[in-house]
Amino acid sequence: MEKNLLSIITPCYNGETYIYRLLESILKQTYPFVEIIIINDGSTDNTEEIILSYEDRFKLKGYQFKYVFQLNGGQAKALNTGLRLYTGEYLTWPDSDDFYISENALEVMVKTLQQSENNVGSVRAFANMYSEKSLSIIGKLGNPKTPYNPNLFMDCVFENNFWFAPVCYMVKSEYVKEYVGEAIEVNRIGQNFQMFIPLFCSKDTITIRKLLMGYLVRDNSHSRDLGDFFNQVKRLKDIANLKIRLLEKNCCKNNNMQIIRGINNLSLKKEVLLMADFKMFFKSVSLLISNFRLLFDSNFVKSYFYFLMRWKKLK
């Protein structure tokens, strides 16, 4: 690993309308030692032309610029290509539609890692959430009033007060090599779980209480037909199974069986809420009756009734 170098891996597919924001925001950064690796995952639009138009500007700034085109294989496969190529002491892998809103974002994160102890493997910062259509701020990732535990393993596994946007995270490459390796499992779900869980199982994270990034919230226009419902249920179960595989492979914890039960319960709660969202009232009640222990979770019950009342208002 090249000392002080920060590697930025950015998979991209058909990003002609937004990748320029990320590239422009990186060019404005104050941190001087950067290697950017852009993986074009088989884009069919003008993504390649836009990316390559930035090559000279990156080199003029003194940043290393690497571009790879590959046939479309999904986010995980594109990330794996980058994981084989990067050479930096530090690593981040932002989505191509996110960006940095502070010009010293990278410098702040690198310096925090440089000053950290060996028990720390990563840092993260807060982000503004932006609407895809209007680019107006619609929320935030992270709350300055919340006390965050440096061990993010449980928060990540149970998706509890945890934000997944990879643009918010930076890691020490030596621990990526040790705990993640040079490749993650290639599928269409859970690439960030595959990066986070092995790291968080063994190392702590420092939360930088500053707004440094912008996270783009895509328009959620999925349909309400049965095909879409079953696809989403399958995705929930696939993610739960992926978490369990990662747990069994990377984490030797005394309470693994308890954690696995919690993962399955979380998946079950999401399935019930999905039924409520799709107006499958009787099916959701039937599933709740057979899993009545879910009713002891007050936050889940509130979410369940929220969906039921929402559809009642829409009638």
Q: What is the pLDDT of residues 43-96, one digit of tens each?
A: 999 999 999 999 999 999 999 999 999 999 999 999 999 999 999 999 999 999
**3-state class of 147 per DSSP?**
coil
Give me the pLDDT at residue 1, please. Answer: 87
pLDDT at 221: 45
In the predicted structure, residue 118 carries a pLDDT above the cut 90? yes
Q: Judge contact between 215 and 135, C-beta under 8 A.
A: no
Q: Give the H or E element holding residue 92.
A: strand 88-92
- Mean pLDDT over all residues of the chain? 92
For residue 254, the model assigns a pLDDT of 74
Q: What is the pLDDT of residues 169-195, one digit of tens each?
A: 999 999 999 999 999 999 888 999 999
- Across 23-37, 223-237, 254-268, the highest mean pLDDT is recorded for 23-37
According to the model, what pLDDT value does residue 140 have? Answer: 97
Q: Of 40-49, 94-103, 202-211, 300-309, give the lowest mean pLDDT range.
A: 300-309
The residue ranking higher by pLDDT, 191 or 251, is 191
Interatomic CA distance for residues 106 and 88, integer angstroms: 13
Does residue 243 contact residue 189 with C-beta atoms inside 8 Å? Answer: no
Q: Which of 110-124, 172-186, 215-229 has the lowest mean pLDDT?
A: 215-229
CATH code of 2-217, in short, is 3.90.550.10
Averaged pLDDT for residues 164-173: 97
Using DSSP, state whether 63 is helix, strand or coil.
coil
Domain limits of the chain?
A: 2-217, 226-314
> What crossing angle do the helices spanning 226-250 and 256-277 adopt, rounded to 10°?
170
Cα Rg of the chain, angstroms? 20
Residues 121, 33, 55, CA angle at the centre, nearest 5°?
A: 120
